Amino acid sequence: MGGRHAAGHLLQALDTLRTPAWSVDELVLVASWLGEGPNRTPRHEVRHRWPLGKDRA
């Protein structure tokens, strides 16, 4: 998978997914570094947060 249409298959899968309703308060961009955490586990760092919804700041 690659190129400019790479997300198409993922979006199609999400479009057909049926789950119980849920809500989202924020979108978080996370950077991951594989093998750079304790005992060579992944290390994650929050890069940015975006509040969502009508009560966003």
**Which residue range(s) make up the domain with 37?**
25-57
Residue 33 lies inside a defined structural domain of this protein: yes
What's the average model confidence in pLDDT over 18-40?
92
Residue 42 lies inside a defined structural domain of this protein: yes
Model confidence at 40: pLDDT above 70: yes
Model confidence at 31: pLDDT above 80: yes
Please give the pLDDT value at position 1: 45
- What string of H, E and C letters represents the secondary structure of 7-42? HHHHHHHHHHCCCCCCCCCEEEEEEEECCCCHHHCC
Residue 30 lies inside a defined structural domain of this protein: yes
Determine which of 10-14, 27-31, 42-46 has the lowest per-residue pLDDT on average: 10-14
CA distances from 16 to 1, 11, 19, 41 (A): 20, 9, 10, 33
Task: Please count the structural domains in the chain.
Answer: 1
> Model's pTM, two decimal places?
0.53
Q: State the Cα–Cα distance between residues 30 and 46, nearest whole angstrom.
A: 4
Residue 2 lies inside a defined structural domain of this protein: no
Residue 36 lies inside a defined structural domain of this protein: yes
